[in-house]
Structure 1
Amino acid sequence: MKAPSAIGSEAFSVIALLVISLAVLLILRHYLPLRTTPAYLTVPIFFALGLPASIILLVPIDLASSSRDENASSRGIWLPDRVLLVSWRISYWLTFGLTWFILPILEEYADAGYRDPKGRLMYSLRANAQYQGLMLGAGLLGMIYFFITLGGELASVKSLVMSLAYCWGLVLAIYLMGHGLVAIPRRLFRNSSISGRLKRVQGDAAKVHEKMEEAIQNLEDLEAQVAELSQRKTGSAKEFRDWIEELADESHLPESRPRTLTRRMSSPEVNVPNVITERYLADLSRRLDRARHTRARYLDEWDRILQTSTDTQAILDSAGSKRIEIGEASPNASIFGRFTILTPYTRYLYKYYFTPYLRIFFGCFFSVASFCIIWSEVTKPINQYFSIISVTVVHHAEGERGRIGFAGQVIAAGWILYMCAAALTSITEVKVWRGRALVRRNTHGESAMWYAMQVAKLTVPLSFNFLTFLSDSVVIDTTFFNFFGQYVKSTSLGTWFDWLFPMFILVPVCATLFNLYGKVKSCVGYGGVIDDEDEENESGYGTGSWREGRDLIERELQGASSLGRLGQTATDRRSGAPGSRAAPTLSVPPAERQRALGLPSASRPSVDPQQRASTAPEDENFFEAFGHRVRNTVDTFESPKWFQNIGDGIKRPKWMGGDGDGDGDGGSNAEPSRSGSDFSRWFGGGRQDGRVRL
């Protein structure tokens, strides 16, 4: 019988790889300026993103290839065993080398700050020597255990390397994936509310604006150091004249604010050492590079906040007119944003009704998907047949071995992709060191390397963790298990770790679901305004964050930015500049406008400003509020007449502070004085202006 041919599957695999490569190039183009980014950054990042994406494609192909009959073609995409083995070797070992050696060295190389390649390389090697030393020290115990269990053979060393890398990656992947499985559906549900989304954007505006001002001020301080350094013509600075002039040319000191720059240059904050060394200039160059990218990051975030707030406010304002008008597209808009076939009325229906309900639908869909993954992680140590994922992937259960067709392959790729997306989404939300962030067309090379390294580090553990959801009869014959899985389960410790540790996914899931992170921050004193509290406090009174953000956004859109010309870069594209799309202005509700103008509200009686200031319970703890209530009770207490007449005729002696004449003619006058000066002072009193604190 003639053996089946895999030409169709091979053609499909080649086309899929080309599509993946094109998608990776588009991602690189979105976050990095490809023309100015050096090749030693773009090429490793391309492979660090493309190889994990190919692994997501390779796992379903491996499942279908191993479950087919030898004399019959598979019902899905399949490849010969030799091709699969070579593909796994190339994908895994290249990913391993990128994760643990190539990307860490290039990451520090891009962030070194030295001018010559030798100085950068030595700096990177010194920094990575400490990191690799810590990793080797942590792996000594595992090395001793493997040598005792398997002997000192070459296979035991290979098993040790694979197992330790898998265990470290699985620990990080399970924690991040557990957070993302809850965060993705929750974000969709929250964004389905248009008013709630606007309030959250306004709540983030105040924090982003403050960080943006700090980033701009930090950059100006560093540029002031460069300006002071460039004025030195003699001494040790003469040896690095070219380097200093290069830094001065790249600084672009703000000519619109010469007074601010002059004041900072004359202030004692600009400290330049007397002896200029290569190490100092490298550190200054590194801090300047980070400061520029930090400033670009927060300017980009502020720009997106302005755009999102204006779009969301336009959707809210369209409830009365049933129309959403847009002007000319911005030059920085995407291809889909420049062309539209919707009329103003259909655009209103799409954004006001269709998009919120679509977010609710996907929120429910991803919630069910998250529940299936969590259920499969918890129940697989008990019985693999309880796994919901196994039922959705294995469709043709013929005999003891199940078969996987093309539909099962698509579903398997979707499961792995969602697991990786949940983990990678959490990385972007976690506050990492050095302020790493992905910025459109302006991502720092060190940050791009770090994020690419996380993608390469998490994909292989999550892919093999997905295989553990399936039955052993399906997994044990795959090339991936024979190449990688057998080394992970070569010892009893590795087997138990692979089976039991994923159950700890319940820890990040419960922490994210019940907002334990915010509660812990509040207990230790580092918590600010928590999102869940904002959701419960619909009016926003007492928080102050979204109101401040709303005022900042409105002032920015009106051209009254506190950042001067730097702050206007985000609004020129919206406020009538040539070639920009006209954005709607933010409207203030009538009640808020009346409060802002100091007008009385029609729904409640007006209150005197002085009385309003005295009755506002702002920044009071429990003891201060209790003391104010006790003081109000004592000060407003009216004693009976028989008690007031007791003090008549009794004069206070001089040694008690009286003059013997005027202190005994009114117990009613003395009593409030005693309560106001002595008793009420214990509870925060002491003011004799007659005001009442509620």
Structure 2
Amino acid sequence: MIEIPTSPSPVPSVVFALVALFCISVVALLILRYYLPLRTTPAYLLVPVFFALWLPASMVLLVPIDLASSAMVDDIDARGIWLNWATLRVSWRVTYWLTFALTWFILPILGEYSDSGYREPKAKLLDSLRANAQYYAIVFGTGALGLIYVFVSYHHFSESLKSTVMALAYCWGLILAIYLMGHGLVSIPRRLFRNANISGRLRRIQVHAPRVYEKMDDAEIDLEDLEMQVAELSRRKGGSASFFQDWIEELVDLTNLPESQPGRVSAVRGSGNQGSIPNVITEKYLAELTRRLVRARHARSRYVNEWNRLLEDAVKTQAILDSAASKKLDFGNVSPNAGFWDRHTVFTPYTRFLFHYHFVPYLQLALASTLSLASACIVWSELVKGLFPQLSVIRYSVIHHQVSGKGQVGFAGQVIAALWMVYMCASALISITEVKVWRGRALVRRNTAQESAFWYASQVARLSVPLTYNFMTFLGTIYRDTVFYDFLGQLINLTPLGTWFDYLFPAFILLPVCAALFGLYGKIKRVVGFGVDVLDDDDESEDSDARGTAFGTGSWREGRDLIARELNGTSAAIRARRSDVLGGGAAGSRSSPVLSIPRSGRRDGNNGSVGPGPTTPFGTSPSAGISGPSSRPQANTSARRVGRGPAGVNLDEADDNENFFEALGHRMKNTIDTFDTPRWLQDIGQGIKKPKWMAGGDEDGHGSSGAGSSSSGGGAGSDVRRWFGGGNSEGRIRL
């Protein structure tokens, strides 16, 4: 146990607290730098988001200090880091009210301000206030109901207004925090357990690949539709569009349209985003178009980043598996976007193999076991803190000293308390990243959207106070002597309803814990059938993979083929050719041909090669262990589902319009074409010439045997549709 020398003067504790706050500031800046480009990000974004991260992190420091400072006894050596009462009260007031203002006012308004498509700051602010009007109506309506309840209970409003506002904010934050934390307490250890199995980790990456690829492809389609709409808008030079030429030129600069064809409007696959341009161009229309274009750009960046990260993980994981034979591990050339530890290493190929193949899995198993035990302790403490607080495990892990019959928190207890709080906050915050939130918000490395950054920062600020006070209730009666309880706790317990809610509602943590533990999200989705994902459920992927499908996104085999094709460069070439075809389409037409992604069974060339040379986006050749494509079809992506024929005819529409006899003829022809001619039948046919009248289009009368022609897959003699009188050039059956 580490002992910190203390004295009646709090100067050493003040120095320690200042150094800790400086370290917290550095960590917050590094987090911002990871998700946002600091040099190009405006100050109105960096400053509030920084404080939204810094203030909750400072609560992790304030709570242990408050616990150690609350026991005012003569034995100062029993305490750890402590501060006087006045300093703590000022610190809690500043921290709480700044967090409150950021959560309910500053961050929501700035988030809608950054998401607004208007150009002028005044118009953006008014649009933000209009967007938040419904939100504030719900908040103030709930506050009015709370005021009525307090007035009925106490018949006066001396301290009721402030207490009601603080209590309602705490209750709403506690509901969200308990649900998210319950899911995270299961998700974090389970993820570590599963990642310890290297082959299982690769299988989950392959199952996830078709889903990510399809989302990336859909995001590119949505962006192309909006870019075509901007291109058509740029062609208008007169009328109402002449008043907004500067705005339209800014929209053109946001797009990726080639300068040689600034006004092309080609046929792209319909996604619902490409709408008709109104006859009268208004400021509201341009603002909405700007908003949708910016969102589409960030959505594409999000899924492209996720797809690249998935490919990198697949290559590394497969390389780790393949290194079991050679006992050497080499990841190849390092990506330019790799971190410091990836670019600089002291490992040799053999020590790298030992580290990744043996040490890391066992380390993950040990950490997962420890965190599983910690999760069980948190859930148990939530259940017993109301009726049997003396059975709380967290209480005995933090309080180590008993002086004059009163519990004391030393330096070791303060460190343990900080670790408990960090794990509880991490469980809730990790669950936020897994939630399928509205408008597709996501954290993207170095390219997070401004509105997404504001939204995630507001969630961090909203969850900090409820989780902090909820942790303090684990410690029995000692927390009632703290400054934080005097500032917030007694206001929450002002009414019996607040007291019962504070003690009984955390027991509902069993609902998200059981839902995440037993995979209830996937089961509910299969029963209801709406196809709406609330949280990423790994159990759903594993269960669906065991049945051979992943709800329309393909099995792990299709994901394996998709990854191999991407690493070989085939998918990139297809997307490039598809863009060229789209660019050359006729103006105003939606019937331009779109190249469909080929199946893995079709191989180009005589040697059966799948794609070009072994160039990968990470400088690693496919020989790192990713197996090549098999004879199974590729992933069921949207690019293949909406493919068009070479003549501009939609194949899906053609299949829907054919009659029964045409469909029967096509199916019989496809069935017979796939037959392989037996060897003995080929030997019998050798040397037998067909008569001239049976030669078809062969003028010299020489042709292959009947058996050979039946296996050719395209000869006239094997076309079953002739039996129905339909052997015309268009392949249709004539009744």
Superposition deviation, residue 36 in structure 1:
1.2
Using the TM superposition, give the Cα deviation of residue 270 of structure 1 relative to its aligned residue in structure 2, in angstroms. 5.0
Q: Deviations 1:4-60 (Å, cap 9, x if unpaired)?
A: 111111001001111111111110011011111111111000000000000111000
Aligned in 2, Cα 1:416/1:557: closer, same or farther, shift over 3 Å?
same
Q: Deviation of residue 326 (structure 1)?
A: 3.1
Paired residues of 2:113 and 2:127 also in contact (CA < 8 A): yes
In structure 2, the CA distance between the partners of 1:486 and 1:530, relative to structure 1 (3 Å rule), is closer
Which of 566, 590, 600 is the matching residue for 1:556?
566
Change over 3 Å in CA distance of 1:589–1:36 after alignment to 2: closer
- Counterparts of 1:82 and 1:567, CA distance in 2: 68
| Equivalent runs, 1:473-488 vs 2, <5 Å | 474-488=478-492
Residue in 2 aligned with 1:115?
119
Q: Kindly indicate whether the alpha-carbon contact (under 8 Å) linking 1:324 and 1:345 is maintained by their aligned counterparts in 2.
A: yes
Partner of 2:351: 346
Aligned residue runs from structure 1 range 363-374, under 5 A: 363-374=368-379
Say which SS state the counterpart of residue 141 (structure 1) adopts: helix
Whether 2:139 is the aligned partner of 1:135: answer: yes
For residue 548 of structure 1, what is the amino acid of its counterpart? E
Instruction: Indicate if the aligned counterparts of 1:108 and 1:124 stay in contact, CA closer than 8 A.
Output: yes
Task: Measure, in 1, the Cα distance between the counterparts of 2:398 and 2:138.
Answer: 41
The 8 Å contact of residues 68 and 74 in structure 1, kept in 2 or not, is answered as no
Match of 2:595 in 1: none
**1:57 and 2:61 correspond:** yes
Q: Which secondary structure does the structure 2 equivalent of 1:402 belong to?
A: strand
Is residue 2:491 matched to residue 1:493?
no
The separation in 2 between residues aligned to 1:566 and 1:34, in whole angstroms, is 36
Cα drift, residue 345 of structure 1: 0.7
**Conserved 8 A contact 1:561-1:567:** no
Matched, 1:532 2:539: yes
Following superposition, the deviation at residue 430 of structure 1 comes to 0.8
8 A contact 2:207–2:541 mirrored in 1: no
Query: Quick one: which of 267, 276, 288 aligns to 1:263?
Result: 267
Indicate the residue corresponding to 1:673 in structure 2.
none
Structure 1 residues 267 and 494: CA distance shift in structure 2, 3 A: closer
- Name the counterpart of 1:585: 623
Deviation at 1:152, TM superposition (A): 3.1
**Against the structure 1 CA distance between its residues 361 and 85, is the aligned structure 2 distance closer, same or farther, given a 3 Å change threshold?**
same
* Residue matched to 1:450: 455
Partner residue in 2 for 1:334: 339
In the TM superposition, what whole-angstrom CA distance separates every residue of 1:290-325 from its partner, at most 9, and x where no partner exists?
000000000000000000000000011111111111
User: Quick one: which of 62, 70, 89 aligns to 1:66?
Assistant: 70
Matches of 1:467 and 1:337 in 2, distance apart? 40
Instruction: Give the conservation status (yes or no) of the 8 Å contact 1:206–1:549.
Output: yes
> Secondary structure of the equivalent of 1:397?
strand
Q: Is the 8 A contact 2:319 2:331 kept in 1?
A: no
Question: Matches of 1:499 and 1:530 in 2, distance apart?
Answer: 30
Q: Quick one: structure 1 residues 476 and 231, their matched pair in 2 at CA, closer, same or farther if it must change by over 3 Å?
A: same
In the alignment, which residue of structure 2 is the partner of 1:153?
157
SS at match of 2:474: coil
Kept in 1, the 8 Å contact 2:221–2:269? The answer is: no
| Cα distance between partner residues in 1 of 2:459 and 2:544 | 37
Aligned residues: 588
2:397 to 392, 411, 419: 392
Assess, with a 3 A threshold, how the Cα gap between structure 1 residues 535 and 285 changes in structure 2: closer, same or farther.
Answer: closer
Q: Structure 1 length as normaliser, TM-score?
A: 0.80
Tell me how far 1:400 sits from its aligned partner: 2.5
Task: Report sequence identity in percent.
Answer: 58
Q: Report the 3-state secondary structure (helix = DSSP H, G, I; strand = E; otherwise coil) of the residue aligned with 1:78.
A: coil
* Residue aligning to 2:89: 85
Task: Give CA deviations for 1:422-461 in whole Å, capped at 9, x if unaligned.
Answer: 1111111110000000000100000000000000000100
Name the CA distance, whole Å, in 1 between partners of 2:85 and 2:474: 23
Return the offset for 1:224: 0.7
1:399: Cα distance to partner?
A: 3.2
Aligned partner letter, 1:554? A
User: What is the rounded CA distance, in whole Å, between the counterparts of 1:360 and 1:256 in structure 2?
Assistant: 57
C-alpha deviation, 1:551, in angstroms: 1.1
Q: Is the 8 A contact 1:324 1:348 kept in 2?
A: yes
SS in 1 for 2:623: coil
User: Partners of 1:411 and 1:210 in 2: how far apart?
Assistant: 45
Cα 1:158–1:134 shift into 2, 3 Å? same
Distance 1:102 1:594, change over 3 A: closer
Q: Indicate the residue corresponding to 2:328 in structure 1.
A: 323
For the 8 Å contact 1:534–1:540, the answer to whether it is kept is: no
Q: 1:351 to 1:567 in 2, by over 3 A?
A: farther
Q: Which residue of 2 aligns with 1:654?
A: none
Q: Distance in 2 between matches of 1:346 and 1:212?
A: 37
Gaps (5+ residues) in structure 1?
569-573, 598-694
Helix, strand or coil at the partner of 1:236: helix
1:412 aligns with 2:417: yes
Contact 2:209 2:310 in 1 (8 A): yes
Q: Which residue, 94, 99, 110 being the options, matches 1:95?
A: 99
- Distance in 2 separating the partners of 1:200 and 1:266: 31
Q: Could you report, residue by residue, the CA deviation over 1:403-440 in whole angstroms, capped at 9, with x for unpaired residues?
A: 10111001001111111111111111110000000000
Deviation at 1:554, TM superposition (A): 0.5
Match of residue 518 from structure 1: 522
State the distance in 2 between where 1:576 and 1:257 align: 31
Q: Secondary structure at the match of 1:5?
A: coil
Asked whether the 8 Å contact 1:324–1:344 carries over to 2, the reply is yes
Q: For residue 440 of structure 1, what is the aligned residue in structure 2?
A: 445
2:199 aligned to which of 182, 191, 195: 195
CA contact (8 A) 2:221 2:268 kept: no
Give the Å deviation of 1:274: 0.6
**Structure 2: which 5+ runs fail to align?**
1-5, 580-612, 635-735
Q: Which amino acid aligns with 1:454?
A: Q
CA shift in 2, pair 1:526/1:123, >3 Å: same
Q: Does 1:314 align with 2:319?
A: yes
**Secondary structure of the corresponding residue to residue 65 of structure 1:** helix
The 1:179/1:31 distance shift into structure 2, 3 A limit, reads same
> CA, structure 1 residues 511+386, in 2 after alignment: closer, same or farther (shift >3 Å)?
same
Cα distance change on mapping 1:349 and 1:566 into 2, 3 Å:
farther
Question: 2:281 matched to 1:276?
Answer: yes
Q: Which amino acid aligns with 2:89?
A: L
Indicate whether 1:358 and 2:369 are aligned. no
What secondary structure sits across from 2:277 in the alignment? coil
Letter in 1 for 2:374: A
Letter in 1 for 2:563: I
Distance 2:167 2:271 in 1: 56
